[in-house]
């Protein structure tokens, strides 16, 4: 049983026998006796007792304690003076001599209960204010990312935590994602392995909030204790977010405060905030899902289905832009056409499935050895095309030789043994008097590739007309 501490400041030892006898019978209380007001006040500030009892003349030396804590005065023989002193220091409850243990028991219990009720009412008031303010905050924006960040930021303002995040649950794919974190507005989209977060998994399955009061001892954290202990996290709170009785996500809070675990008030507040923001969070999640799907479809529209690099449609879109820019600013623009040598033999010997694997791996090697500013696409079949902005003939030649060497040295995993493949490369560069359009640039690179093939393959050839 948790014992409530009572701090006592006595102006004489005459009352001590009565008080010691009283507290000996009542094990729910833990008394601390003081005769020095300075020591008494220091102790009260550090221990935060459930109530203070002050006798007689000691009242004037303990004004701070009686103002901030539930207080009970023991009035001396001069009852009138003692009552006036108690009123002066705003003490509502006091005992008159002769002191009776039943009177003390009743009044001590009353001041503690009144204080606890006031604390609950104050926290409830703040809780309602927070919910109203949160509702206002999330109704003031249509930006889903901003909405999610406002929720975690508001929670972190009310409850001091080390980390506060919103987790979105994708039930279809059985995954979870961090969609907002108060530490960093840009920290989002991080995928979580629920095997490493048993507390979140427990909240999802039980559909109830989960409180880990001490990571070091809670059985829920047993399998991941070694991973989380070095981080310095002590307590964790997971509050599920419901939409039409389905859990769509969680509020996820962690704290490393040495003497703090989440209180019942804080848990109640978080449940209220999760309930109040559920509809908005659901809409934000839905918007995020639509945006992600839109991004995925846009990527698919410009991506080659087999190799994962750009398709020729997107390449033409980019070459129109780059050629126009090159004409405007008189900047060089080079185009490399690449073809895997003897690719038909690979299909004939290993089959088309292995051939597809070779194409994918070939594209990966090309992408790895291309610059961020370059535009790499699959032109068709075993042919690839690479656009090099701001690149003169010398630079394009060096780049083509580097790629050719990388392909020759690469050991393709899909081919048995140590078999290697080679590549032929054709180069064309604008400006060139024979190149008037972007189509001319591609045609000239293709002509150069034909030259490289006819010269014995595994060659780099520049367009000469």
Asked whether residue 153 carries a pLDDT value surpassing 90, the answer given is no
Asked whether residue 290 carries a pLDDT value surpassing 70, the answer given is no
Strand, helix or coil for residue 433: coil
| Residue that is written with structure tokens 């390449």 in the block | 315
Residue 312 structure tokens: 């020729």
DSSP state, 99? P
Mean pLDDT, rounded, for 429-446 = 94
Query: Does residue 248 contact residue 169 with C-beta atoms inside 8 Å?
Result: yes
pLDDT at 185: 67
CB atoms within 10 A of CB 457: 14
Considering only 47-56, 60-69, 188-197, which range has the smallest mean pLDDT?
60-69
- In whole angstroms, what is the distance from residue 423 CA to residue 404 CA? 6
Asked whether residue 400 carries a pLDDT value surpassing 70, the answer given is yes
CATH architecture of the region 4-118 = 3-Layer(aba) Sandwich (3.40)
Mean pLDDT, rounded, for 206-224 = 89
Q: Is 457 left (phi over 0), alpha (psi -120 to 50) or beta?
A: left
Q: 241 - beta bridge partners?
A: 249
Percentage with pLDDT > 90 across the chain:
38
Supply angle C-alpha 55, 57, 60, rounded to 5: 100
pLDDT at 84: 83
| Residue that is written with structure tokens 């507390």 in the block | 199
Q: How confident is the model at residue 291 (pLDDT cuts 50, 70, 90)?
A: low
| Residue that is written with structure tokens 């083509």 in the block | 400
Asked whether residue 173 carries a pLDDT value surpassing 70, the answer given is no
Q: Where are the domains of the chain?
A: 4-118, 141-290, 312-462
Percentage with pLDDT > 70 across the chain:
91
Q: Which CATH number fits domain 312-462: 3.40.630.30, 1.10.460.10, 3.30.70.270, 3.40.50.150?
A: 3.30.70.270
DSSP state, 307? T
pLDDT at 447: 95
Q: Is 172 left (phi over 0), alpha (psi -120 to 50) or beta?
A: alpha
Q: How confident is the model at residue 338 (pLDDT cuts 50, 70, 90)?
A: very high
Phi, psi of 149 (to 5 degrees): -70, -35
Exposed/middle/buried for residue 122 (C-beta within 10 Å: 0-12, 13-18, 19+): exposed
Tens digits of residue pLDDT in 62-71 = 776 677 888 8
- In whole angstroms, what is the distance from residue 380 CA to residue 367 CA? 16
Q: 380 - beta bridge partners?
A: 383
Q: 34 - beta bridge partners?
A: 9
Considering only 150-164, 189-203, 357-371, which range has the smallest mean pLDDT?
150-164
Asked whether residue 429 carries a pLDDT value surpassing 90, the answer given is yes
pLDDT at 379: 93
Asked whether residue 340 carries a pLDDT value surpassing 90, the answer given is yes
- In whole angstroms, what is the distance from residue 335 CA to residue 318 CA? 12
Mean pLDDT, rounded, for 159-172 = 80
Distances in Å between the Cα of 362 and the Cα atoms of 34, 54, 421, 422, 461 are 83, 85, 10, 10, 20
Radius of gyration of the chain (CA): 38
Residue 271 structure tokens: 């449940």
Query: Does residue 400 contact residue 445 with C-beta atoms inside 8 Å?
Result: no
Tens digits of residue pLDDT in 221-266 = 998 888 887 888 888 888 888 877 778 778 787 776 555 678 887 8
Q: How confident is the model at residue 30 (pLDDT cuts 50, 70, 90)?
A: very high
Between 446 and 63, whose confidence is greater?
446
Exposed/middle/buried for residue 148 (C-beta within 10 Å: 0-12, 13-18, 19+): buried
Mean pLDDT, the chain, rounded, equals: 85
pLDDT at 273: 77
Residue 222 structure tokens: 């047993």
| Residue that is written with structure tokens 């410009």 in the block | 302
Tens digits of residue pLDDT in 296-309 = 777 778 889 899 99
Query: Does residue 275 contact residue 130 with C-beta atoms inside 8 Å?
Result: no
pLDDT at 137: 66
- What top-level class would CATH report for the domain 141-290? alpha beta
Query: Does residue 358 contact residue 346 with C-beta atoms inside 8 Å?
Result: yes
Distances in Å between the Cα of 407 and the Cα atoms of 14, 249, 337 are 97, 47, 15
What is the number of H-type helices and E-type strands within the chain? 15, 16
Residue 227 structure tokens: 């991973």
Mean pLDDT, rounded, for 212-226 = 88
Residue 225 structure tokens: 């204790």
pLDDT at 226: 86
**Do the bridges between strand 29-34 and strand 4-9 make them parallel or antiparallel, or are there none, so unpaired?**
parallel
Mean pLDDT, rounded, for 388-398 = 94
């Amino acid at each position: 049983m948790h014992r409530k501490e009572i701090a006592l400041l006595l102006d004489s030892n005459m009352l001590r026998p009565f008080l010691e006898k009283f507290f000996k019978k009542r094990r729910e209380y833990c008394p601390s006796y003081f005769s020095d007001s300075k020591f008494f006040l220091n102790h009260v500030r550090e221990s935060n007792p459930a109530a203070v009892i002050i006798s007689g003349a000691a009242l004037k030396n303990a004004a701070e304690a009686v103002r901030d804590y539930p207080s009970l005065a023991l009035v001396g023989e001069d009852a009138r003076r003692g009552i006036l002193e108690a009123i002066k220091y705003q003490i509502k409850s006091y005992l008159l001599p002769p002191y009776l243990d039943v009177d003390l028991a009743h009044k001590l219990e009353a001041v503690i209960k009144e204080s606890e009720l006031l604390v609950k009412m104050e926290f409830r008031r703040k809780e309602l204010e927070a919910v109203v303010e949160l509702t206002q905050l999330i109704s003031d924006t249509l930006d889903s990312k901003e909405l999610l960040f406002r929720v975690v930021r508001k929670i972190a303002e009310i409850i001091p935590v080390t980390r506060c995040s919103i987790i979105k649950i994708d039930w279809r794919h059985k995954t979870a994602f961090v969609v907002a974190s108060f530490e960093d507005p840009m920290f989002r989209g991080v995928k979580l392995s629920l095997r490493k977060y048993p507390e979140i998994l427990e909240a999802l399955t039980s559909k109830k909030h989960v409180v880990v009061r001490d990571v070091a001892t809670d059985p829920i954290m047993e399998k991941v204790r070694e991973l989380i202990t070095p981080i310095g996290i002590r307590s964790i709170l997971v509050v599920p977010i419901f939409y039409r009785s389905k859990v769509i996500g969680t509020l996820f809070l962690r704290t490393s405060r040495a003497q703090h675990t989440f209180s019942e008030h804080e848990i109640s507040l978080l449940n209220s905030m999760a309930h109040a923001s559920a509809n908005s969070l659901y809409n934000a999640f839905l918007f995020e899902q639509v945006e992600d799907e839109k991004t995925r479809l846009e990527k698919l529209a410009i991506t080659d289905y087999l190799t994962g690099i750009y398709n020729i449609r997107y390449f033409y879109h980019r070459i129109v832009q780059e050629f126009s820019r090159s004409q405007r600013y008189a900047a060089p623009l080079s185009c490399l056409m690449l073809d895997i040598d003897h690719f038909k033999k690979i299909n004939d010997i290993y089959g088309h499935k292995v051939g597809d694997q070779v194409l994918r791996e070939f594209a990966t090697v090309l992408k790895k050895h291309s610059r961020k500013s370059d535009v790499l696409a699959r032109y068709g079949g075993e042919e690839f095309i690479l656009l090099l902005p701001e690149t003169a003939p010398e630079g394009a030649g060096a780049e083509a030789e580097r790629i050719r060497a990388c392909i020759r040295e690469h050991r393709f995993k899909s081919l048995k043994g140590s078999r290697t493949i080679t590549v032929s490369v054709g180069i064309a560069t604008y400006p060139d008097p024979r190149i008037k359009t972007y189509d001319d640039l591609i045609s000239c690179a293709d002509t150069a590739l034909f030259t490289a093939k006819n010269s014995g393959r595994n060659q780099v050839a520049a367009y000469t007309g």
